[in-house]
Amino acid sequence: MDKINKKASCLSILGTGSDVGKSIVTAALCRVFHNKGFRVAPYKAQNMSNNSYVTIHGHEIGRAQIVQAQAARVEATADMNPVLLKPCTDTGAQIVLHGKPFGNCLASDYFGDTDFLFGKARESLDTLRRDYELVVMEGAGSCAEINLREKDFVNFRMAHAADASVILVADIDRGGVFAQIIGTLDIIPPEDRRLVKGIIINRFRGDAALFDDGITYIEEKTKLPVLGLVPYFYHIEIDSEDGMPIETIIDPKEGTKDDKINIACIRLPHISNFTDFNPLIREDSVNFHYLSKPRNLNEYDLLILPGSKNVRNDLHWLLDTGWVDTIMQYKDLGRRILGICGGYQMLGQVINDPKGIEGKPGKAIAMGLLNIETILHSEKITTQTTGFWIGMEEYKIIGYEIHMGQTHSIGDGKPVMILDNRNGNDIHIAGGWQTEDGFVQGVYLHGLFDEPAFRRAFLEGLKPGLICAGKNTKSSCMSQSVFREKQYGLLAEHFERHLDVDKVANMLLLNSIE
């Protein structure tokens, strides 16, 4: 295979399967080597996720690479995730190339010919290698999917092109770790096998000494070092690629709590950017439930309709499952409803899709709770945005927008926010829409609750007195950025205790490591 002109060293983190912890290992190594004095960049040639974020330049990339860039203390760029697939149906996805929409495709079409995207991804890697000393490359899924090998450019194909050293990550918590590791190494071709320099066994529970024999067996069988046996952790919270926090409660049997602010969020089939709600989940005074099945909402203080990658499809799902009737009953009680991004669009009168962005061209009648109309366009708005909530002007809101719809008012109501900056450009425009009484509100802004001052003021308005009476833990009072920085520090400490960093550095010829 052709080689990229070697500049920065490359370390490739590949997995024995999906969700074995590749993203977390990559983030940890980014912070560990940053702490050792290296300029580090994360990289994932192609990501598949509806959990995305916007860079300072207005480019959309996977949330995991944002997390990894934050861990490395560098500004995220589109080169760190040049190809992003955002699933919008069970078999189709939107392709985001270098941070901008490139088109929609079916899985069968996508895997028909990936050479073009591979070339674009290599260009991004080449850019990173010119600007950094170390690039930590994350693979996707299992690196041993033999049926996809010729079309897969995220795993070994990119590792070969970059002359990368490969570390194989396995998850012992799911069981079968010996088969995961030895089976993967046994079925990959010899040229791939030669790139693998070590193994990380992730998510171990219990007494590590009891697995000494297991490590000996793996090392003897594979002739590779086990670089670390990393324990499962509960004390660190890192935004994940597609999963939800450990504290997440979905369709609980128990109901609301009188001494809490009770918030329900509908778990849409195509939910996106669920990280919007992690700060609420961490609040001591909040009882936060994700609900996928309709239930009596009478005792909830707020109902949230979250973002969606396929608004029209999820709107039909709400109708088919009986959710719309439940939402209408809740609204008639005079309770608060908040829609964010796709959820905001669903609260309106109609969603027009003349170009077939989310399926066949046409329109969908929405719930009619806000006097707004949305038209879907092929050009996506991706901005880092700041502003303030009307009526709470003293609290700054810092967030981001990712949407293909343009929404305008068509009747009674009033704006929710004033937006004052997009991608570094000062503006002064109204944002969102609400009913005159303010009980139904919708905005496009993701990350709405990241800043603690606004978050707590908003919550105080739902159920006065509980926020002040809460425990006010340090984590719930921190800004999201400060909270994340603390978590990256804890993550690096955890991995340094259980990983042979010197061996990793030696395989990369990073001789200046302390």
From the list 52, 401, 456, the residue with the least C-alpha distance to 282 is 456
Compute how many other C-beta atoms are within 10 angstroms of the C-beta atom of residue 354.
11
Least confident of 6-15, 276-285, 388-397, 474-483: 474-483
Topology (CATH) of 9-238+483-507: Rossmann fold (3.40.50)
pLDDT digits (tens, 9 = 90+) for 173-225: 999 999 999 999 999 999 999 999 999 999 999 999 999 999 999 999 999 99
- What are the residue ranges spanned by the domains of the chain? 9-238+483-507, 261-472
Q: Measured between alpha carbons, how far is 342 from 357 in angstroms, rounded to an integer?
A: 14
pLDDT value at position 379?
85
pLDDT band at 469 (very low <50, low <70, confident <90, very high): very low
CB 145 within 8 A of CB 132: no
Does position 512 have pLDDT exceeding 70, yes or no? Answer: no
- Residues annotated catalytic, as ranges: 341, 446
Helix axes of 480-498 and 22-35: crossing angle, nearest 10 degrees? 90
pLDDT value at position 107?
60
pLDDT value at position 421?
96
Q: Which helix (H) or strand (E) holds 399?
A: strand 392-409
CB 267 within 8 A of CB 290: yes
Higher pLDDT, 316 or 234: 316
Topology (CATH) of 261-472: Rossmann fold (3.40.50)
> Helix, strand, or coil here: 428?
strand
From the list 123, 198, 164, the residue with the least C-alpha distance to 6 is 164
The backbone region for 66, taken as left when phi is positive above 0, alpha when psi lies in -120 to 50, beta otherwise, is alpha
Does position 406 have pLDDT exceeding 80, yes or no? Answer: yes
Q: Measured between alpha carbons, how far is 161 from 490 in angstroms, rounded to an integer?
A: 33
Both tokens assigned to 43: 């990289």
- Amino acid present at 2: D
